[in-house]
Chains A and B, each alone.
Chain A
Amino acid sequence: MATTTTKTETFVGKRIRRREDPRLITGTATYVEDIQMPGMHYAVILRSPHAAARIRSIDTKKAENATGVACVFTGKDTKGVGVVPCGIAMPDLRVPQHNILATDRVYFVGHPVAVVVARDRYLARDAADLIEVDYEVLPAVADPEKALAKGAPAVHPQWPDNIAFTYHQDGGNVDKAFAEADVVAKQRIVSQRLVPMAMETRGVVAEWRGADRQLNLYTSTQIPHLVRTLVAGMLGLEENRMRVIAPEVGGGFGSKLNVYAEEALMGFVSMRIQKPVKWIESRRENFTCTIHGRGHVDYYEIAAKRDGTILGIKLKLIQDVGAYHQLLTPLIPQLSVLMMPGLYNTQNIRADIVGVFTNCVPTDAYRGAGRPEATHGIERMVDILAAELKLDPAEIRLKNFVAKDKFPYSTATGLMYDSGDYSTPLKKALDLVGYVKLRQEQADLRKQGKYMGIGISTYGEICAIGPSPATPAGGWESATVKIEPTGKVTILTGACPHGQGEETTFAQIAADELGVGLDDILVVRGDTAIVQYGIGTFGSRATAVGGTALYYALEDLKAKIKKFGAMLLESDDVTLAGGQVVCNKTGKSKTFQEIAGASYRALKLPPNTEPGLVATRFWEPPNFTFPFGAHIVVTDIDDETGQIQVRRYVAVDDCGNILNPLIVDGQVHGGVAQGLGQALWEQAVYDDNGQLITGELMDYALPRAHLMPWIESHHTCTPSPVNPLGVKGVGEAGTIGCSPAVVNSVVDALSPLGVRHIDMPLTPEKIWKLLAKKN
């Protein structure tokens, strides 16, 4: 029998390679598409080719009679299924009825119209082509500002103004701040629509077991428990009769932090045909039907004194909602408003959000979710302000940062920043990049007519989402630790990590707390039948909230282990260390394994103690955490082609304590890649008819290996007081810090031409046109 290794070696803080990797590098992991079941059928969804149309009729006869087809369902059949849920409640929120299949009208290209189920995926696709839908095409609107204009086509006829919601927030006295200002800078800033583009598209396998009245739903999701609660509700199933399994999940980035029509639709189909059914989203569907991110048009005003002291910020935020609200759609721009002051000490803000319906796929959470937009806004505005006042962009930031001794710091937007030291990462980044020398070089290059730019972004973010009162579902997270009779340790986390590495970092935490080896620990996630209720992985929360739940469950067990150890050693004076309980007087010890065995054998129990070693904790965080950092980007612009070359990328991130530097580096790199994608290449472009013209990888430019610069990743460490691990979260930091640093750099490079702002993505064409105007 394998024995539990007891160790004095510690693991937290070390670069430990991941425990989830062997299955992934050998091709033996199980993603949704890899699941096979006897009698399994395949579903293909017929979708609207039009952005707005009335459905006159649907003829499914030919499809129903096609080879291998089991059935075809349309919106008429699924009328009894509940609507796709929006999880956000706010006054005056207009929530259109979001049926899982269109009934009489379609609202965006890709709107599901019918589902074909056949014994083979090729046959299902053949049959989908045989469905005849008679559409009466209607005028569409795809641009949120055009949708607000008088006379624009109404996305939903009952709301001719296309307004989905409004939201207002005031902090301090913004009118007074603007009245007292020496200078007010204004700028319209667009954060373009993006496609999250997880490498694994969405997919669902539904398996109805009629005799048990049990629905097993395998779905590529970040939130299996919430999917269970909500989809069970849509299908009218008792929640305990539904099991949701998120097997291996091939990336989410927020796009799988949702409840989608197809999850309920496959449940419906399996219940109707009494067979397992599989649906795998095509890449084209992924582009047109999975949520998009961003989609802001922001009008900023920033008021300041001549010396650069920021007095106040105003923001009018137009959020492109798309045709419906998905789970969190109206929440995302509110996160932008919360983050609007950035790292700066200003108590006067005013924000007005207008959410606008368009004939496009809904927007929702995409890596950073509202915070990249806010950071892009404030960091661009600070640079614009610095340029107007002829101040150095580093100096104006250092002047306005919330001072180190002001934490916890209450913001004008109602947040309480937990801990911070904002000037240290900026100064470190300036040193690393050689700022003073670079400015000299820039001056020399300018004399030669060459364009080199230095861009700074100092960002903050709202992470470890979050306290329950501030989140639409619970904001807590859960963990169960089971020490088995042989001393082996099983951790069940409700956080459902999917690539972020918590199978490793959680094992590191537990190994150190219990004094056992990493190989003695197994982390289990993603199955509602095994894992206690949990919330999920998003908002840089899995470690800071889920890891803390784990920490407290381990504390409970440590106390119980000590009790059993004390009983076995017949002493009250014992210590738990290195996987053993040691009697401080005699030096005698009991191993972890002996104690685990005794706790289950239960021949004798300590007073008021139950047998076994299992603990579950649901941890409610008292606050968010607020990581921060400074990114500096140096760019060289080719004045003949408009090509931007990133010469240096220096990132100094402060995410509190670091459990595994290897994993943190990976999170920063990946985050930066997505930020750089937005800054330079990516954009979901709808034409005026609502056709997504960047609807495939051929037309949607992603960061690729040869396009990415080397990222110099560094850290400062300001532990969070919010949780005992002192961690803050790092999943979104790179994305949030990146885009303004890149744009600031390119604007800085082109500033001799009078360029003051460029909207993303900074395509060579845009840059070339700016250069061409002057040449």
Chain B
Amino acid sequence: MNISLTINGKSYSHDVEPRLLLIHFLRDVAGLTGTHMGCETSLCGACTVELNRKAIKSCTMFAVQANGAEIVTVEGLANDGKLDPVQEAFWNEHGLQCGFCTPGMIMASKQIIDRNAAPSEEEIRHGLEGNVCRCTGYQHIVNAVKAAAAGAGK
């Protein structure tokens, strides 16, 4: 099947098998390997990307379902070498260790701030329920989201 979609502002049009997962389209067809496969069952969130401005898990969606969609991946956040405030906050607050969950975590965090400019700690923690990090114990991630929200609100 032929699908056309926009990823990080760039148009892609490809013939794909109907069973091709969106994450494999992103990684193997578009060559954007920042989005990671962590569990294949939408339980860990490492594959989180933004699809039509909503955070979704790209491991349990077919590429054909994203036909016509606008997708943003972690590679699309920094602008002209300037990091997105959420990326910057993850860096400043040590919100990552091995980094494998980080792209999905950053995309989920962006969504939290997009929906709620001043999330409380509890709201942040609940917003991150679907994203697993095995390294940080989440505390520095919570700090990062708080810092990013505070910065964005300035």
Q: In the complex the two chains form, is A499's CB within 8 Å of B135's CB? A: yes
Set B17, B91, B125: member contacting A25, Cβ < 8 A: B91
Report the minimal beta-carbon distance from B36 to chain A, rounded to whole angstroms: 7
A407 in the interface (beta carbon within 8 A) = no
Q: In the complex the two chains form, is B94's CB within 8 Å of A662's CB? A: yes
Contacts of A73 in B (CB 8 A): none
B58 in the interface (beta carbon within 8 A) = no
Set A18, A28, A663, A703: member contacting B137, Cβ < 8 A: A703
Contacts of A500 in B (CB 8 A): 97
A90 in the interface (beta carbon within 8 A) = no
Taking CB atoms and an 8 Å cut-off, the chain B residues in 118-134 that contact chain A are: 121-122, 124-126, 128-129, 131-134
Chain A residue with minimal CB distance to B39? A283
Set B43, B46, B87, B137: member contacting A670, Cβ < 8 A: B137
Report the minimal beta-carbon distance from A418 to chain B, rounded to whole angstroms: 27
Quick one: given A28-B34, A666-B140, are A705 and B131 in contact (CB under 8 Å)?
A: yes
Q: How many residues on the B side are at the interface (Cβ–Cβ under 8 A)?
A: 57
Contacts of B83 in A (CB 8 A): 25-26
Q: In the bound complex, how far is the Cα of B33 from the Cα of A672, in angstroms?
A: 31
Contacts of A498 in B (CB 8 A): 98
Report the minimal beta-carbon distance from A498 to chain B, rounded to whole angstroms: 6
Set A200, A499, A706: member contacting B129, Cβ < 8 A: A706
Q: In the complex the two chains form, is A27's CB within 8 Å of B125's CB? A: no
Report the minimal beta-carbon distance from A564 to chain B, rounded to whole angstroms: 37
Report the minimal beta-carbon distance from B102 to chain A, rounded to whole angstroms: 5
Contact with A along B92-103 (1 / 0, CB 8 A): 101011111111
Set B94, B100, B133: member contacting A665, Cβ < 8 A: B94
Quick one: given A31-B36, A200-B100, A669-B139, are A696 and B132 in contact (CB under 8 Å)?
A: no
Report the minimal beta-carbon distance from B22 to chain A, rounded to whole angstroms: 14
Q: In the bound complex, how far is the Cα of B86 from the Cα of A25, in angstroms?
A: 9
Contact with B along A475-490 (1 / 0, CB 8 A): 0000000000000000
Q: In the complex the two chains form, is B96's CB within 8 Å of A24's CB? A: yes
Contacts of B52 in A (CB 8 A): none
Quick one: given A122-B17, A283-B38, are A706 and B135 in contact (CB under 8 Å)?
A: no
Report the minimal beta-carbon distance from A31 to chain B, rounded to whole angstroms: 7
Q: In the complex the two chains form, is A673's CB within 8 Å of B137's CB? A: yes
Quick one: given A27-B35, A31-B36, are A21 and B133 in contact (CB under 8 Å)?
A: no
Quick one: given A22-B91, A26-B87, A27-B34, are A697 and B99 in contact (CB under 8 Å)?
A: no
Contacts of B103 in A (CB 8 A): 27
Q: In the complex the two chains form, is A697's CB within 8 Å of B44's CB? A: yes
Contacts of A698 in B (CB 8 A): 41, 43
Q: Which of A247-255, A295-303, A463-471, A581-589 sits within the interface?
A: A247-255
Q: In the complex the two chains form, is A282's CB within 8 Å of B40's CB? A: yes
Contact with A along B38-77 (1 / 0, CB 8 A): 1111011010000000000000000000000000011101
Chain B residue with minimal CB distance to A126? B19
Q: In the complex the two chains form, is A669's CB within 8 Å of B136's CB? A: yes
A711 in the interface (beta carbon within 8 A) = yes
Q: In the bound complex, how far is the Cα of B125 from the Cα of A708, in angstroms?
A: 9
Q: In the complex the two chains form, is A711's CB within 8 Å of B139's CB? A: yes
Taking CB atoms and an 8 Å cut-off, the chain A residues in 192-245 that contact chain B are: 197-201
Report the minimal beta-carbon distance from B13 to chain A, rounded to whole angstroms: 21
A17 in the interface (beta carbon within 8 A) = yes
Q: In the complex the two chains form, is B136's CB within 8 Å of A26's CB? A: no
Taking CB atoms and an 8 Å cut-off, the chain A residues in 273-287 that contact chain B are: 280, 282-284
Q: In the complex the two chains form, is A24's CB within 8 Å of B94's CB? A: no
**Chain A residues touching B, range:** 35 or more
Report the minimal beta-carbon distance from A40 to chain B, rounded to whole angstroms: 11
Question: Among the interface residues A18, A25, A670, which one has the most CB atoms of the partner chain B within 10 A?
Answer: A25
Q: In the complex the two chains form, is A21's CB within 8 Å of B90's CB? A: yes
Quick one: given A199-B100, A248-B99, are A670 and B74 in contact (CB under 8 Å)?
A: no
Contact with B along A1-45 (1 / 0, CB 8 A): 000000000000000011011111111111101100000000000
Contacts of B97 in A (CB 8 A): 251, 499-501, 666, 670
Q: In the bound complex, how far is the Cα of B35 from the Cα of A115, in angstroms?
A: 27
Q: In the complex the two chains form, is A198's CB within 8 Å of B90's CB? A: no
Q: In the complex the two chains form, is B139's CB within 8 Å of A200's CB? A: no
Set B91, B100, B121, B140: member contacting A250, Cβ < 8 A: B100
Q: In the complex the two chains form, is B91's CB within 8 Å of A702's CB? A: no
B3 in the interface (beta carbon within 8 A) = no
Q: In the complex the two chains form, is B124's CB within 8 Å of A705's CB? A: yes
Q: In the complex the two chains form, is B40's CB within 8 Å of A283's CB? A: yes
Contacts of A159 in B (CB 8 A): none
Chain A residue with minimal CB distance to B81? A26
B7 in the interface (beta carbon within 8 A) = no
Report the minimal beta-carbon distance from B135 to chain A, rounded to whole angstroms: 5
Q: In the complex the two chains form, is B98's CB within 8 Å of A499's CB? A: yes
Q: In the bound complex, how far is the Cα of B134 from the Cα of A34, in angstroms?
A: 20
Contacts of A663 in B (CB 8 A): 94
Q: In the complex the two chains form, is A250's CB within 8 Å of B98's CB? A: yes
Set A28, A248, A282: member contacting B75, Cβ < 8 A: A28
Set A499, A665, A673: member contacting B99, Cβ < 8 A: A499
Report the minimal beta-carbon distance from B90 to chain A, rounded to whole angstroms: 5
Report the minimal beta-carbon distance from A203 to chain B, rounded to whole angstroms: 10
Taking CB atoms and an 8 Å cut-off, the chain A residues in 751-769 that contact chain B are: none
Q: In the bound complex, how far is the Cα of B77 from the Cα of A730, in angstroms?
A: 34
B113 in the interface (beta carbon within 8 A) = no
Q: In the bound complex, how far is the Cα of B54 from the Cα of A60, in angstroms?
A: 44
Contacts of B134 in A (CB 8 A): 197-199, 251, 253, 670, 673-674, 702
Taking CB atoms and an 8 Å cut-off, the chain A residues in 693-736 that contact chain B are: 696-698, 702-706, 708, 710-711, 734
Taking CB atoms and an 8 Å cut-off, the chain A residues in 30-75 that contact chain B are: 30-31, 33-34
Contacts of A17 in B (CB 8 A): 91-92, 94
Contacts of A705 in B (CB 8 A): 124-126, 128-129, 131, 133, 138, 141-142
Report the minimal beta-carbon distance from B134 to chain A, rounded to whole angstroms: 5
8 contacts between A and B (CB under 8 A): A27-B34, A199-B134, A249-B98, A284-B40, A666-B94, A696-B43, A705-B142, A706-B126
Q: Which 4 A-B pairs have the closest CB atoms?
A: A27-B34, A250-B100, A24-B99, A499-B98
Binding site for A on B (CB under 8 A): 17, 19-20, 24, 27, 32-41, 43-44, 46, 73-75, 77-78, 83, 87, 90-92, 94, 96-103, 106, 121-122, 124-126, 128-129, 131-142
Other contacts beyond A280-B37, A501-B97: 14, CB < 8 A = A25-B99, A25-B106, A26-B87, A30-B33, A121-B24, A199-B44, A499-B97, A666-B137, A669-B139, A672-B137, A697-B41, A704-B138, A705-B141, A711-B139
